[in-house]
Amino acid sequence: MGKYTLTVFSASGETLLDESFEAATEKEAKETGEKRLAELNYLDSTHRCTNASGKLVLFHR
């Protein structure tokens, strides 16, 4: 299992969400991140999901 961080930003650059979770694969991490964003109604906000080494798995501007 790898550790991933999901971060959401407001238009002014304020961090709205910064949470970590574990996933077995990058694909699973992307799906988990998208599900969490949908739950919190952040799909249209600027967001990113990175793995522990900083690689982008999911990004929306």
Give the residue from 46, 41, 47, 58 showing the smallest Cα distance to 11: 46
- Quick one: three-class SS letters along the chain? CEEEEEEEECCCCCEEEEEEEEECCHHHHHHHHHHHHHHCCCCCCEEEEEECCCCEEEEEC
Q: 14-54: per-residue pLDDT in tens?
A: 999 999 999 999 999 999 999 999 999 999 999 999 999 99
Two tokens at 38? 């949908």
- pLDDT score for 41: 97
